[in-house]
Every structure is written in C-alpha cells, then in structure tokens.
Amino acid sequence: MESDNQTLLDVLAQLKIAIEKMDWSTAEQIDQRIKANIESAVLHAKTDEDKNSLIALLKSIQSLYTLLISNTAESQSKISVELKKITSDKKAANFYLTSSKYQ
C-alpha cells in the first residue's frame, strides 16, 4: 500500500507542475495515470491506517482538481476574450473593405 501511495504522490506532483505550467495535454495524460493509481490504491487499502492514508491522498487529489478546474476556466475565459476581439477586428476590417469598394 505504501508504494501505491508513493506512486500516487509522485504522479500528483507531476500534475501540479503541469497545472502551474498550464500544460493541459500533459495534465490530461497524467489524469489517466492518476485514475489507474487510485484504482490500485483502493484495491490495496486493507487496514484502517491504509484507508485513512488513502482518504488523505484523495483529499489532496480533490484540491489539485479544484485548482485544475479553476485554471482551465481562467484560460478559457482569456481565450474567449481574445476570440471576441479577433471577431470584432475581423468585422471592422470586412466593413472597411466592403465600404472602400464603393468609393
């Protein structure tokens, strides 16, 4: 059980780094590894001590996922603002091009 927890902690550290770097493709790959490690840890948690340790790890995972969701929502918002600006600029350019044809 201890090795499962350590493996999970290592993967969580990698996820935290990916989140900080806003490297969403790496975060997605790490997410798959976390799921597999959680399944293994759950299967091997036999004693109350193991289960309490697993609960603490799951709370850490929940905190990281909350951070991940927050960061991706923030990135999505920034991208949305940029797309709106690009759309507005494109409309202005098209209006200018269209109106200059008639002069």
Is position 95 within any domain?
Answer: no
Is position 54 within any domain?
Answer: yes
Report CA-CA distances (Å) from 72 to 28, 63, 69, 82, 103. Answer: 12, 14, 5, 15, 47
Unique residue bearing structure tokens 């948690």: 45
Per-residue pLDDT of the chain (103 residues; tens, 9 = 90+): 667 678 888 888 898 898 888 888 998 899 888 888 888 888 888 899 989 988 998 998 898 889 888 888 888 888 999 999 999 999 988 888 888 776 5
Is position 69 within any domain?
Answer: yes
The predicted structure's pLDDT at residue 102: 63
The predicted structure's pLDDT at residue 1: 62
Q: Which domain holds residue 59?
A: 2-76
Report yes or no on whether pTM surpasses 0.95. no
Is position 93 within any domain?
Answer: no
Is position 86 within any domain?
Answer: no
The predicted structure's pLDDT at residue 86: 94
Rounded-to-10 torsion of CA 11, 37, 59, 65: 60
Could you give the number of structural domains in the chain? 1
Is position 20 within any domain?
Answer: yes
